[in-house]
């Protein structure tokens, strides 16, 4: 929005308001953004949570993976988005190797909050990260724990593959979700997880569960902005959908996405594992 321009006020989205949305069964619509202009557009479309994702390594920088993304990259893009002063909650990814000791996690999450303007940080991890989530919680930093397909672990996982298909892996993920919620996580994000397991985790937790390639039974959805605007070169992941044909324009596509999430028409069966 231009300086001095006024807009009808939307109440700021908070950890508490997201919890209420889960309790009421209202779906939470989330998207990534990496700059000021798109942050304003997402906010106007009624998006609840804006994620400055480390997917910026791919969609902003043209890299093959998210691994080279730095703290400086994350802070730069977070600051650009934060200047939109959105009612949408601003969540920022902790990049690869920024959160594997308590001291580093506190230092780097602190930087995303202080310098980046984040209101929540997201970290990829398992139950092993419980102590880190607990210490961030002690520091008053809202945390989203990202489970399932963790793109920062792509070389360990052997590719961008669905996670939690085998019974033992499914039990472990459910236990990780419980442990991370117990440690203080305010939100969970499940990427590329079979819909049945997602439904189980969503029912077993009080905090909102956001999905990407995780079916329609979780509390909200997230997509990478460039994928849903049809801007990604080549094939988009199966779980994604281009909303541009339906929306007709960028604001139209963003509104169509929010409406489809709220109206439970996205994701459909073909986007689900």
Ligand X SMILES: CC(C)C(=O)C(=O)O
**With binding defined as CB under 5 A, does residue 93 bind Mg ion?**
yes
CB contact at 8 A, 18 and 89: yes
Nearer to ligand X, 49 or 167 (CB): 49
Which phi and psi (to 5°) does residue 52 adopt?
Answer: -85, 95
- Choose, by CB under 6 A, the member of 226, 253, 254, 272 that binds ligand MHF: 226
**With binding defined as CB under 6 A, does residue 197 bind ligand MHF?**
no
Confirm whether residue 122 is marked as ligand binding. Answer: yes
> Is 104 a known active-site residue?
no
**With binding defined as CB under 5 A, does residue 54 bind Mg ion?**
yes
**With binding defined as CB under 6 A, does residue 224 bind ligand X?**
yes
Nearer to Mg ion, 53 or 216 (CB): 53
Residues 31-60 that bind ligand MHF (CB under 6 A): 55, 58-59
CB of 35 to ligand MHF, least distance (A): 16
Please work out the total of residues on this chain that contact ligand X, with binding judged by CB under 6 A.
Answer: 11
**With binding defined as CB under 5 A, does residue 255 bind Mg ion?**
no
Residues 13-72 that bind ligand X (CB under 6 A): 32, 51, 53-55
**With binding defined as CB under 6 A, does residue 240 bind ligand X?**
no
Nearest one of 76, 82, 33, 29 to 53, comparing CA atoms? 33
CB of 99 to ligand MHF, least distance (A): 17
CB of 154 to ligand MHF, least distance (A): 8
> Can you give the length of the chain in residues?
273
Residues 131-170 that bind Mg ion (CB under 5 A): none
Confirm whether residue 17 is marked as ligand binding. Answer: no
Q: Exposed/middle/buried for 120, CB within 10 Å: 0-12, 13-18, 19+?
A: buried
Identify the active-site residue in 181, 191, 200, 217: 191
Q: Give which of ligand X, Mg ion, ligand MHF, none residue 10 binds (C-beta under 5 to 8 Å, depending on kind).
A: none
Residues 142-171 that bind ligand X (CB under 6 A): none
**What residues line the site for Mg ion (CB under 5 A)?**
53-54, 93
What is the set of active-site residues?
191
**What residues line the site for ligand MHF (CB under 6 A)?**
55, 58-59, 66, 149, 151, 160-162, 192, 224, 226-227, 232, 237-239
């Amino acid at each position: 929005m231009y300086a001095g321009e006024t807009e009808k006020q939307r109440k700021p989205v908070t950890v508490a308001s997201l919890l209420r949305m889960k309790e009421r069964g209202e779906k939470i619509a989330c998207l990534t953004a990496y700059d000021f202009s798109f942050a304003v557009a997402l906010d106007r479309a009624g998006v609840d949570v804006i994620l400055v994702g480390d997917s910026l390594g791919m969609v902003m920088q043209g890299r093959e993976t998210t691994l080279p993304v730095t703290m400086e990259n994350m802070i730069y893009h977070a600051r650009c988005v934060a200047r939109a002063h959105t009612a949408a909650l601003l969540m920022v990814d902790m990049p690869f190797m920024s959160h594997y000791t308590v001291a580093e996690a506190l230092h780097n999450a602190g930087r995303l909050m202080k310098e980046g303007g984040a209101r929540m940080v997201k970290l990829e991890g398992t139950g092993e990260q419980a102590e880190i989530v607990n210490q961030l919680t002690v520091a008053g930093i809202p945390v989203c724990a990202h489970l399932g397909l963790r793109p920062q672990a792509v070389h360990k996982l052997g590719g961008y593959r669905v996670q939690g298909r085998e019974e033992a892996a499914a039990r472990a993920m459910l236990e990780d979700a419980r442990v991370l919620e117990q440690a203080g996580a305010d939100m969970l994000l499940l990427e590329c997880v079979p819909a049945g397991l997602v439904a189980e985790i969503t029912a077993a937790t009080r905090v909102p569960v956001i999905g990407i390639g995780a079916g329609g039974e979780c509390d909200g959805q997230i997509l990478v902005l460039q994928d849903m605007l049809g801007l990604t070169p080549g094939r988009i992941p199966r779980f994604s959908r281009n909303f541009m044909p339906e929306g007709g324009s960028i604001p139209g596509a963003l509104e169509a996405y929010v409406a489809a999430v709220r109206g439970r028409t996205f994701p459909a069966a073909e986007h689900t594992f």
